[in-house]
Amino acid sequence: MKHFCILAGALLLSACGLQPMYAGGASGQVAQGLAAVEVPAIEGKAGWLVRNALVDRLGAAGRVTPRYRLDVRLDDKLEGLGLLSDDTIGRERRTLRARYQLVDTASGAIVLDATAGSDAGIDVVSSEYATIAAEQTALENLAKVVADKIVARLALQLREGQAGAQ
């Protein structure tokens, strides 16, 4: 009975038009499209972190001739929240927002213009070192989250563009 349910579920999913995003693995169209995205340097420490995360996720280690360029501008904010009874800040929020454009390098046309962002809460403790370490860890984590969101949106755009071209 269990196997029948799994088989029926698989048949229903195939009938609804869902397709795997990364069909074909590393040689699939979406993976090849992502590998053809060049990511120029992004300003600041947050930019360095986001660029490295993007390069890791895109698989752009020089394997494919770049067809696209991903231009990214970041806005990194750290703001104090929650005042304690002694008028000190007890909580901070770090926000990382990215505005990015996917540019076709052959024509210069903007294929995608979008934004991505995330934020994290940070407890401010009596140790200044611990607070600074928490702020840096939050930035590192936010860079990964923002990069994941950008790559997911790029994959959708490339898949839609390739489906329209066929």
Give pLDDT tens digits for 75-95.
999 998 877 777 778 889 999
The pLDDT of residue 87 is: 72
In a domain, 20, yes or no: no
In a domain, 91, yes or no: yes
- Mean pLDDT for 146-163 is 87
The pLDDT of residue 166 is: 40
How far is 111 from 109, CA to CA, in rounded Å? 6
Domain residues for the domain of 108 are: 25-165
Cβ–Cβ under 8 Å, residues 115 and 100: yes
Beta bridge partners, 98, equal 74, 116
What CATH code is carried by the domain that includes residue 92?
3.30.160.150
**Is the model's pTM score more than 0.85?**
no
